[in-house]
Every structure is written in structure tokens, then in C-alpha cells.
Amino acid sequence: MKVIQFYKTEKQLIKKATKQHRDAQHQLYNQYAPKMLSVCRQYIRDVHFAEEVMLSGFLKVFLNLKNFKFEGSFEGWIRRIMINESISFLRKEKKILFTEEITSYTEESWNNINTELAVEQIQDLIDSLPEGYKMVFILYAIEGYKHSEIAKMLEVSESTSKSQLFKARKMLQQKLNQQNNISNGAIKI
């Protein structure tokens, strides 16, 4: 049996979805939902809430599809919407707390840890960070935003963004060291 492709290019698929063709919208959703749930999950611990945020994000995607100008990647455009939805959800839930404390930033070598943690364990460590630290860490280290962009997105100062990242890295290093000590049998208290 030969598989018939509905749309030859992503651009055609997006144009059809813009015209409210449900099958095209469904195809876009199926194509991007797993990745976007993963994006939302990075910010939101509870997978059920992450899924709700993803769904409201897709609603915004389809309502604003006409605004996509085919400049840059479509996945990047959707990803930005999901990040903004996640931040809005956390703001609404009042789960974000930023400390305005100024700290001297010394680049510590925090990549020197030998660890063989699974992705789930790493996500658990990131999830254990306070929400402000976690959000800035993800935006900077995983998403690749600059501190100026993060400050604008989160409505904080650049120095607050830098401080949150510094503290997140320091806390993650401590947690990784503890994890390594436990797995090596050298539990230090």
C-alpha cells in the first residue's frame, strides 16, 4: 500500500492550517506536540499542568498562525509561544520568586563533574531548583537566550538574571556533587 502525503512541504501545511483546515492543524499538532510538551515540562514540574500549558500554547499557535511570516524556523516560533505560556502560567500561579541580591560572579568550573546520570535524574535535579533559578537556568543554558532577553521576558533586571543563573549553577553543582558522593559510596554530611 502506498502512503499518500497530504502536503508536500511544511509551508503548504501551515498555509492550509491558517485557513482553518482541521486536518492540517491536526498534522501540525501531531508533529510538534511531543517536543513542545517537553519544552513546557522543563519549566513546569507537574506533567499534567505542563500538558495544559502546551494545549493553551497550541491554541495560541493556531489563533496567531496568520502572524507567522516564514522568517526563521516554524518550530522556533512555536517554541517561543510555549516558553511564554509556561512563564505566564508560573506567574499566574505565583511560583516565580527572584532575589535581587547582587553577587560577585566568578566563573566556576562546574563542568568538571564526572556523572552518569540519566536524563530523568538531571531533570529532577533541575526541577529541585527554586522556580526563579530554574527558569533563568533553562532560558540561558538550554534555550540559549542572553541575559538581556531573559530580563525582558521575565520583567527583571539583567543583574537579577545573572544572579539567578549563578545561584542555579552553584546549587546544581552542589546537588551533583552530593549525587556523585552517594553513588560512589562516600556520603558526606
User: Which grid cell is 119?
Assistant: 536524563
pLDDT in tens, 35-68: 999 999 999 989 999 999 999 999 999 999 999 9
Mean pLDDT check: name the lowest of 11-20, 35-44, 78-87, 97-106.
97-106
CA-based R_g, the chain, Å: 20
Report the distance separating Cα 70 and Cα 142, nearest Å: 24
pLDDT at position 77 is 96
The per-residue DSSP string of 56-94 comes to HHHHHHHHSGGG--SSS-HHHHHHHHHHHHHHHHHHHTT
Contacts of 169 (CB under 8 A, 6+ apart): 108, 110, 137
Q: How much of the chain, in percent, has pLDDT values that exceed 70?
A: 80
pLDDT of residue 91: 87
Lowest mean pLDDT among 91-95, 123-127, 146-150, 184-188: 184-188
Q: Please report the pLDDT score of residue 187 as a whole number.
A: 52
Checking if the pLDDT of 171 tops 80, the result is yes
Predicted pLDDT at 93:
82
> CA torsion angle for 167, 136, 172, 95 (degrees, to 10)?
90
What is the mean pLDDT of the segment spanning 94-123?
58
pLDDT for 57 equals 97
Question: Which tens digit of pLDDT belongs to each residue from 129-168?
Answer: 998 899 999 999 989 999 999 999 988 999 999 999 999 9
Q: In this predicted structure, what is the pLDDT of residue 160?
A: 92
**Residue in this structure with the C-alpha cell 522556533, named with its chain if needed:** 76
Is residue 98 scored above 80 in pLDDT? no
